[in-house]
Chain A
Amino acid sequence: SQKIEQNSEALNIQEGKTATLTCNYTNYSPAYLQWYRQDPGRGPVFLLLIRENEKEKRKERLKVTFDTTLKQSLFHITASQPADSATYLCAQSQNTGTASKLTFGTGTRLQVTL
């Protein structure tokens, strides 16, 4: 069965640097990959979605790439700030025909220090 893997449990970087988080999938190429941010004690918040036929997507300081050859998506935060510290979740989405079904990875906890 398909698995979404975020192999880095935690990532520590210095303020101003670019954070790069990795998401791998094991079998078939998902039609869509979504990235969410989750702060402690709160629900995930949607950040970006990238489709299978898109190589790259950007939103302000965020960039997501999708490489079907490597079975991987990379999530970049440029000019990182302490406020970016959170857990970032990758999820594949499937169209069931009735509702959007997400399969999540375990997440990567990002810590941005001064």
Chain B
Amino acid sequence: ETGVTQTPRHLVMGMTNKKSLKCEQHLGHNAMYWYKQSAKKPLELMFVYNFKEQTENNSVPSRFSPECPNSSHLFLHLHTLQPEDSALYLCASSPTGTGYNEQFFGPGTRLTVL
């Protein structure tokens, strides 16, 4: 395992539901990331947190709301999603700092919006 866990692994929700995705890393890293992976598309960076502070919001709709209470935990709160939001949501972490740091990914949450 990579040291990054995500729950739940699968989630089916209606467009009016509210749900949350959880990510936890046991690697002592200070940067955490949310990505969206849709079929036939590159991984899309959604949010970046560094030392609990959000440093990047890649024009993500407000129906996705991230939360980072500490450097080990990251949440993605979901509300009033659309069917096109169905995708694999991946969390990652890395040591903070320079671009030569690899990122460690969790297994992802497969989200289906009905």
For B56, give its contact among A43, A96, A104 (CB under 8 Å).
A96
Which segment of A12-20, A45-53, A58-66, A68-76 sits at the interface? Answer: A45-53
Give chain B residues whose Cβ lies under 8 Å from the Cβ of A106. Answer: 40-42
Interface residues on B, range: 20 to 34
Is the Cβ of A99 less than 8 Å from the Cβ of B31? yes
The number of inter-chain residue pairs (CB within 8 angstroms) is: 86
Whether the pair A44, B105 counts as a contact (CB closer than 8 A) is yes
Please give me the 9 A-B residue pairs with the lowest Cβ-Cβ distance, nearest first: A43-B105, A95-B99, A99-B31, A46-B102, A93-B99, A104-B43, A98-B50, A104-B42, A100-B101
B residues sitting closer than 8 Å to A (CB atoms) are 2, 4, 31, 33, 40-43, 45, 48-50, 55-56, 90, 92, 94, 96-108, 110
